[in-house]
Amino acid sequence: MEYKVIPFVPSINRNKENSTEVAQQLEDIIKHHSNQGWVYVRVESVETFIVPDAGCFGLGAKPGYMASRQMIVFSKLI
């Protein structure tokens, strides 16, 4: 089995669109990869630690923080 994982970063216009647009974006990605022989498995949430930035001599330093990333998982028989 071969796997492919791609980031999913949906974007919408907060004044015009809603979660239906996000669902459409996900569906479009799934269809695109399905046409290439990949099978949709699931969407995974991956927690990532963003390392702190020490700045220059401590000036402008930024603390580290956790960020959540959405990943779409596909599989294919090899």
Summarised one tens digit per residue, pLDDT across range 12-28 is 887 777 888 899 999 99
Q: How many domains does the chain have?
A: 1
Residue 30 CA to residue 28 CA, distance in Å, equals: 5
- pLDDT for residue 61 is more than 90: no
pTM: predicted TM-score of the whole model, two decimal places: 0.79
- pLDDT for residue 56 is more than 90: no
How much is the mean pLDDT over the chain? 92
- CA angle 46/49/54 to nearest 5° reads 160
- pLDDT category at 2 given cuts 50, 70, 90 is very high
Domain containing 33 equals: 2-76
User: Quick one: average pLDDT of 45-63?
Assistant: 86
User: Quick one: average pLDDT of 53-68?
Assistant: 84
